[in-house]
Amino acid sequence: MTIKVNGQEKEVADGTTVTQLIAQHNLTPKKVAIELNRRLIRSDKYETVLKTGDEVEIVTFVGGG
Amino acid sequence: MQDVFRIKDFDIKNRLFVGTGKYANYDVMRQALDASGCQVVTVAVRRERLVDAQGRSLLDFLDLSKYVILPNTAGCFSAEDAIRVSLLGRELLEKQGNKGAGWVKLEVLGDKKTLLPDPVGTIEATRELVKEGFTVLAYTSDDPRSAVRIKEAGAASVMPAGSPIGSGQGVLNPLNISLCLELLKEGDPHYPVIVDAGVGTASDVTIAMELGADGVLLNTGIAHAKDPAKMAVAMKHALEAGRLAYEAGRIAKKRYATASSPFEGVISYIPGE
């Protein structure tokens, strides 16, 4: 199925969870925060199964003023 | 005695807030932050790079036991986006166990060229974020009436800009900053006001502090100096100098000279006498 991750379309397997999506990008869950369809999702909801067309934002901290 | 000030439930031991952006590399950033003596450092929330994600992130270079992280909403042009970014920043800091999870440096900007704040969006976002439990430190222009409205909306601190972000123009309108201070602190002398943005060099920090600001937030002035660590030391001393001068109380400005040496007993000819 196709989802959007950080603005880019991606093909992922049906049944992919948020945890799996984070792992697929070699990211550490502790160092990212996640939005699903423009709403923050907390770590305890990372087992949520993604659906076609979902829009995921994976963010972290960068230098800023 | 240490000079501490308070923003809601945050006790701040150092009045200089330093940004983590625009350094040549993380080592230069770390040295500069260390040299500045700051306790509060600001960071931005951005999309993770999905390609090349092996690169180390900012979080690997900040001693989270030493610094209180102040996440900003830089790059947001609407209250809605600023709220989204605030929630994401809080989530990230809760995961790190950093006290900074409780607050946010709110920026709702008007346009990309001037990066001047949008006062209406700032007020809207302040109200919402306060409802969400945030301690809001709101970046604003040096307009005193906007500053008062933002305080009324619930901001724990108002942060008027000395001049546009990253412009290095210093405190362009000291009168407005002093009016912001006067109006915000009227009947509420401990209300914290931080001059944010525009600092180009050490004297700018001193001027802001002499006016009575509780602190100064800066980034580019250090990050883009030829020697960031040295400039960080200069900023630290400038802040102390300005704070001490404010507490000591400056003399009134007078039109004419007042001699420091007495005229009584002079042996010289005095013109006009």
In this structure, how many other beta carbons lie within 10 angstroms of the beta carbon of residue B27? Answer: 10
Parts of chain A with a pLDDT under 50: none
Q: Which of residues 5-44 of A touch B (CB under 8 A)?
A: 5-8, 25-27, 29-35, 38, 40, 42-43
Q: Which of residues 136-195 of B touch A (CB under 8 A)?
A: 165-166
Q: Is B42 on the interface with A (CB under 8 A)?
A: yes
Q: Which residues pair with B139 in a beta bridge?
A: B159
Q: For residue A32, which amino acid is it?
A: V
Q: What gap in Å lies between CA A9 and CA B107, rounded to an integer?
A: 29
Q: Which residues in chain B are closer than 8 Å to A59, comparing Cβ atoms?
A: 45-48, 88, 92
For residue range B74-95, list pLDDT tens digits in order.
Answer: 999 999 999 999 999 999 999 9
Q: Which of residues 191-220 of B touch A (CB under 8 A)?
A: 197, 217-220
pLDDT for the residue numbered B150: 98
pLDDT for the residue numbered B51: 66
Of B50, B92, B220, the CB nearest to A65: B220
pLDDT for the residue numbered B273: 84
Query: Which domains, and CATH codes, for chain B?
Result: 5-248 (3.20.20.70)
For residue range B92-130, list pLDDT tens digits in order.
Answer: 999 999 999 999 999 999 999 999 999 999 999 999 999
Of B57, B71, B91, the CB nearest to A40: B91
Parts of chain B with a pLDDT under 50: 1
Q: At B69, list the tokens.
A: 């992280």
Q: Enter the pTM of the model.
A: 0.92
The answer to whether position A65 is within a domain reads no
Q: At B210, list the tokens.
A: 């002499």
The answer to whether position A64 is within a domain reads no
pLDDT for the residue numbered B57: 81
Q: At B26, list the tokens.
A: 């993380």
Mean pLDDT for all residues in chain B: 95
Cβ of A32 within 8 Å of Cβ of B48? The answer is yes
- Pairing type for strands B157-160 and B135-140 reads parallel
Q: Could you give the number of structural domains in chain A?
A: 1
How many pairs of residues across A and B have Cβ atoms under 8 Å apart? 107
The answer to whether position A7 is within a domain reads yes
Q: Which residues in chain B are closer than 8 Å to A34, comparing Cβ atoms?
A: 91
Count Cβ neighbours within 10 Å for each residue of A31-61 and write b for 16 or more, e otherwise.
bbbbbbeeebbebeebeeebeeebebbbbbb
pLDDT for the residue numbered B1: 47
Q: Which domain holds residue A49?
A: 2-59
Q: At B217, list the tokens.
A: 């937030």
In this structure, is the dihedral angle defined by the CA atoms of residues B188, B190, B192 and B198, taken in order, positive or negative? positive
CATH number at residue A19: 3.10.20.30
The answer to whether position A10 is within a domain reads yes
